[in-house]
Amino acid sequence: MKKTHLLLFILLQFFSQSISAQIQYTNPILAGFYPDPSICRVGKDYYLVNSSFSYFPGLPIFHSTDLVNWQQIGHALDRNEQLDLSNAGVTRGLFAPTIRYFDSVFYIVCTLIDKKGNFIIKSKDPKGPWSNPIWLPEINGIDPSLFFDDNGKAFITYNGNPPDNKSLYSGHRTVRINEFDVKKMKVVSKSEILVNGGVDISKKPVWIEGPHLFKKNNFYYLICAEGGTGTDHSEVVFRSDSAKGPYLPYKSNPILTQKGLDKNRENPITSAGHCDFVETENGKWYSVFLACRPYEGDYYNTGRETFLAPVEWNNNWPTIKTNNGLVDYKYEVPFPEKTNRNSNIYTGNVVFKDSFKAEMLSFHYALLRNPSKDLYKIDTKKQKLIFPLKPTTVSEKDNPDFVGFRQSNLKCNASTSLVFSAKTENEKAGLLIFQNEEHFYFFCKSIRDNKSIVEVYKSSSKDSSKNELISSAYLKEGNSPLQLKIVADNANYSFYFSENKEKYSLLKTLDAKFLSTKEAGGFVGCMFAMYATSNGITSSNMASFNWFRYQGNDDLFK
């Protein structure tokens, strides 16, 4: 009987492990506008940070224990005194952070473009608070990365100018290195060039950037993005016996790219690159990187997202695992023994509901630039998000009444319940789908001829007074809560409204390509946003939102 029990136990264990090994995670691991990922490990804990450009708070920080299920734990720059985003375009601001851990302290280095440049912040707790920035004027470039060697020496690598500031061709850049004194928190050496141009300068490689330095088996590895952040994006690797080089390129570069693939492939993933590597506690290696999911050609509205894939080693050279060159939507989980299920709320068909019961806004939300003290109020008793109307609009490089949520799916819908009575035709409140100052659709409630009306506008220029009214409809019950819903279906946005909480009426369907990165440019993705404005006039009016909901409906994840 004992032998039978023992055999049964062994069989059950084997069966359980076999089932666990088949569990897969879903890419992207952070869906929507989460670009330029950087990752580090502390024991069995993993921490990840992304670029946030001109959204506030800056630099979202995520935590995981299995590389699959992620939870946001805060932002590195969540105080106005830390971050100046005044007059910054949506696609400027914070570029390409790197997070590292050394001697019980977390560090982030990053670039605040168009302002003071590169900086470093630190904290003993990744949840914060993080220090105010220490500026690094000696680091003359972008995409800084911090590396701690075995002997305690620290270095910063970054994308810098070509030799003698003389470009041999458009997009000619270098990867440079400076020694950094972490105790004094200052640069202590002149810059040296590690890579000039890229893997093979005779082929005029462009935009060598996003460099990260790490060490394995007594080799120093330098991984970099190359080819620009569009469809020619790739990741390349160099190796050396010394932190300062010389570095030799891998003969099988690039180690990751999606360029040159069949453009008619199903559910394409494009623009893969800008990688960071991490070694797990059991000695395996993984890479996080950005990539995009277009719905047609090179059109996508979800921005550059964070993906995860295993790293394979061959003769002391790394490559990122693909399926015959294709980045997969599904890979086996890194830790089958502790990942029972994929419960990552930032991937797949994302679901989010908020009834404003908490005193603080959810980490899911983002504001445009530094918020003023009176930007919004949360009434937790009445469960409302309240905007005192400001003259500012999203067409300006200012801080409008805007609380945004990332579009995380090609097919999805965002909805809200609005209580608002306009006093003038300038006053408008509602739901926005926003890419940048010149590319957005505004679905709003206002007033015309003393009657309540629902309208949809298309941005036409930096002057908000010239936005194009696309469609409108008078409302029957002007003072009741108005439900607004925007439905994204690949290349279309449809705008629905309801006055009775049940039946929605379609106002208009519009071209989503107008908000795509291909047409709008820049480095961000689209945001659904609760938004209100008095369009240049002073107002004492207010707009209240009772709830906000988001539901992803991508066929691939059903």
Give the pLDDT confidence of 175-221 residue by residue, as tens digits.
Answer: 999 999 999 999 999 999 999 999 999 999 999 999 999 999 999 99
- 488 neighbors 553 (Cβ within 8 angstroms): no
Q: What is the DSSP string of 294-356?
A: -SBTTB-SS-SEEEEEEEEEETTEEEE--BTTBPPSEEE-S-TTT--S---TTSSS-EEEE--
For residue 265, pLDDT beyond 50? yes
Please, how many CA atoms are within 13 Å of residue 147, restricted to the half-sphere of its CB?
A: 28
- 307 neighbors 327 (Cβ within 8 angstroms): yes
Contacts of 219 (CB under 8 A, 6+ apart): 239, 240, 241, 316
- 496 neighbors 508 (Cβ within 8 angstroms): no
Amino acid (one-letter) located at 540 = S
CATH code that applies to domain 30-332: 2.115.10.20
Give the pLDDT confidence of 476-520 residue by residue, as tens digits.
Answer: 876 779 999 999 999 999 999 999 877 999 999 999 999 999 999
For residue 6, pLDDT beyond 60? no
Write down the mean pLDDT value for the chain: 94
For residue 15, pLDDT beyond 70? no
CA-CA distances (angstroms) from residue 514 to 56, 299, 308, 460, 548? 25, 10, 29, 11, 24
CA-CA distances (angstroms) from residue 93 to 88, 368, 505? 6, 11, 39
For residue 5, pLDDT beyond 60? no
Amino acid (one-letter) located at 33 = F
- 331 neighbors 339 (Cβ within 8 angstroms): no
- 370 neighbors 358 (Cβ within 8 angstroms): no
Stretch 402-409: mean pLDDT: 98
What are the residues facing 313 on neighbouring strands?
318
pLDDT at 417: 96
265 burial (CB, 10 Å; 0-12 / 13-18 / 19+) is exposed
Q: Spell out the domain ranges in the chain.
A: 30-332, 351-557
Q: pLDDT category, 147, cuts 50, 70, 90?
A: very high
The class of domain 351-557 in CATH terms is mainly beta
- 61 neighbors 109 (Cβ within 8 angstroms): no
Give the pLDDT confidence of 276-335 residue by residue, as tens digits.
Answer: 999 999 999 999 999 999 999 999 999 999 999 999 999 999 999 999 999 999 999 999
% of the chain exceeding 90 in pLDDT? 91
Rg (the chain; Cα; Å):
25
CA-CA distances (angstroms) from residue 370 to 83, 399, 481, 515? 8, 6, 30, 24
Residues with active-site annotation? 36, 209
Please, how many CA atoms are within 13 Å of residue 490, restricted to the half-sphere of its CB?
A: 9
Give the pLDDT confidence of 357-404 residue by residue, as tens digits.
Answer: 999 999 999 999 999 989 999 999 999 999 999 999 999 999 999 999
For residue 256, pLDDT beyond 50? yes
- State both tokens at 131: 């220090």
Stretch 13-29: mean pLDDT: 68
pLDDT at 480: 79
For residue 14, pLDDT beyond 90? no
- 403 neighbors 390 (Cβ within 8 angstroms): no
Stretch 330-343: mean pLDDT: 89
- State both tokens at 118: 């590169």
- 466 neighbors 460 (Cβ within 8 angstroms): yes
Cα separation, 157 vs 354, whole angstroms: 41
Residue showing tokens 């949809």? 456
% of the chain exceeding 70 in pLDDT? 95
- 423 neighbors 447 (Cβ within 8 angstroms): yes
pLDDT at 478: 67
Amino acid (one-letter) located at 320 = I
Give the pLDDT confidence of 79-100 residue by residue, as tens digits.
Answer: 999 999 999 999 999 999 999 9
Q: Is 555 helix (H, G, I), strand (E, B) or coil?
A: helix
Cα separation, 186 vs 134, whole angstroms: 8
Q: pLDDT category, 464, cuts 50, 70, 90?
A: low
**How many Cβ atoms are within 10 Å of 181's Cβ, its own excluded?**
12
Cα separation, 467 vs 471, whole angstroms: 12
- State both tokens at 20: 């666990």
Question: In terms of pTM, does the model score above 0.85?
Answer: yes
Q: Is 552 helix (H, G, I), strand (E, B) or coil?
A: strand
pLDDT at 19: 46
Stretch 424-434: mean pLDDT: 97
